[in-house]
């Protein structure tokens, strides 16, 4: 990250957004807001090849402070990974052909308190030894 690029980004996005980017992403970037998903994540793109490293010109600004890649819906993930050329907000296939029966997307909660824990009704195969103590008379 060059000093000139950092100062240029600070002038473009403003001091508050610049500080927010440095705290959350560790980098100061400026680009076009492409869209927002239903969770509040914002997606950006900078097509100026002189400013951004190729392959890193698309990025997401997470709505939550503790972010993980599972908070990105599949349609936006395919755009960030360069599988789709156009973002879901501008792609006619994504906007018109989303089936009505498709279930809503939820982030992966593995490793958190909200993770799924099945209830087990099967007796354990190995039982720990518990000594039986006789009372002394």
Task: List the domain boundaries for the chain.
Answer: 1-30, 31-98
Round to whole Å and give the CA distance between 76 and 15.
27
**pLDDT at residue 10 greater than cutoff 80:** no
Give percent of the chain with pLDDT exceeding 70.
Answer: 93
Indicate the pLDDT class of residue 99, thresholds 50, 70 and 90: low
Nearest residue to 30 via CA among 41, 38, 48, 40: 48
Instruction: Give pLDDT tens digits for 58-79.
Output: 888 888 877 778 888 888 888 9
Q: Global pTM?
A: 0.66
């Amino acid at each position: 990250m060059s000093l000139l690029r950092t100062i240029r980004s600070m002038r473009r996005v403003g001091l508050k957004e610049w500080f927010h980017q440095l705290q959350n992403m560790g980098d100061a970037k400026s680009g076009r807001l492409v869209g927002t998903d239903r969770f509040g994540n914002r997606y950006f793109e900078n097509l100026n090849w002189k400013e951004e490293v190729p392959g890193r010109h698309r990025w997401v600004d997470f709505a939550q402070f503790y972010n993980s890649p599972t908070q990105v819906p599949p349609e936006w993930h395919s755009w960030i990974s360069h599988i789709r050329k156009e973002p879901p907000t501008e792609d006619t296939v994504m906007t018109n052909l989303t089936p009505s029966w498709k279930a809503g997307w939820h982030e992966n909660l593995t490793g958190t308190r909200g993770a799924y824990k099945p209830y087990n009704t099967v007796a354990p195969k190995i039982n720990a030894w518990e000594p039986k103590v006789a009372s002394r008379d």
